[in-house]
Amino acid sequence: MRTKDFEKAIDALNLGIVIDEMKLRHSNVRQVTGHLENEGIIWNGKGEAFSTSFEEKESEDNGELVGVLGRSLKRNRFYDLKFERL
């Protein structure tokens, strides 16, 4: 699949997902990484989705954000991509 196909399919979900990275292999998408406000999503080259939730870590002293912890990935069919057929 081409990058344009993945971008269209992700936009078609209408969830406001931000694409962070696309990994390519010989001009074809191998993996796509994206996120929502508190959830990370990874798609493989077939459009199958895996997700993880984020948890913000704040300093006890002043309440400032120190980092973001992620949990392990789990298969999540809700975010699976449906590609348009030509």
21 CB-contact burial (10 Å; exposed 0-12 / middle 13-18 / buried 19+): exposed
pLDDT at residue 37 in the model: 87
Average per-residue pLDDT for the chain: 88
pLDDT at residue 33 in the model: 94
Contact 32, 42 (CB under 8 A): yes
pLDDT at residue 66 in the model: 65
pLDDT at residue 86 in the model: 47
CB atoms within 10 A of CB 79: 21
Statement: residue 68 has pLDDT above 50: yes
Q: Is the dihedral of CA 55, 58, 64, 68 positive or negative?
A: negative
**Is residue 45 very low, low, confident or very high in pLDDT (cuts 50, 70, 90)?**
very high
Domain ranges of the chain: 3-79
